[in-house]
């Protein structure tokens, strides 16, 4: 299995701006790693490809709604 924590192969959206509010992803085998660009050494969230696909589709269709950080903390 390819190690997702390796430094090579990470990418972020081409639409990202220089605001430091981005995440990077890396595909490996049947998993996707997700990490914060502000804290690359802070850990990697690893999910399977199917779950990541559902997550992306939910974002694109706005199924998650428009929730503020305060609402998510509750």
Q: What is the DSSP string of 3-40?
A: -TTSSTT-B--TT--TTS--EEEEEETTEEEEEETT-G
Per-residue pLDDT band at 54 (split at 50, 70, 90): very high
Q: Please indicate, yes or no, if residue 72 is contained in any of the structural domains.
A: no
The answer to whether residue 74 scores a pLDDT higher than 60 is: no
- Compare 63 and 1 and report the one with higher pLDDT: 63
| Dihedral, 34, 40, 43, 45 alpha carbons, nearest 10 | 0
Q: Which domain holds residue 13?
A: 1-63
Q: Please indicate, yes or no, if residue 40 is contained in any of the structural domains.
A: yes
Q: Please indicate, yes or no, if residue 53 is contained in any of the structural domains.
A: yes
Whole-prediction pTM value? 0.69
Q: Tell me the mean pLDDT in the region 49-68.
A: 85
Query: Taking all residues of the chain, what is their mean pLDDT, rounded to a whole number?
Result: 80
Count of domains for the chain:
1
Residue with tokens 């199917």: 50
- Compare 64 and 49 and report the one with higher pLDDT: 49
Q: Please indicate, yes or no, if residue 69 is contained in any of the structural domains.
A: no
Q: Please indicate, yes or no, if residue 11 is contained in any of the structural domains.
A: yes
């Amino acid at each position: 299995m390819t190690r997702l924590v390796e430094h090579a192969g990470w990418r972020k959206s081409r639409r990202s701006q220089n605001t430091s509010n981005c995440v990077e992803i890396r595909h490996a085998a049947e998993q996707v790693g997700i990490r914060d660009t502000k804290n690359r050494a802070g850990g990697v969230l690893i999910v399977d490809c199917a779950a990541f696909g559902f997550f992306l589709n939910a974002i694109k269709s706005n199924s998650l709604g428009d929730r503020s950080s305060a609402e998510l903390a509750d």
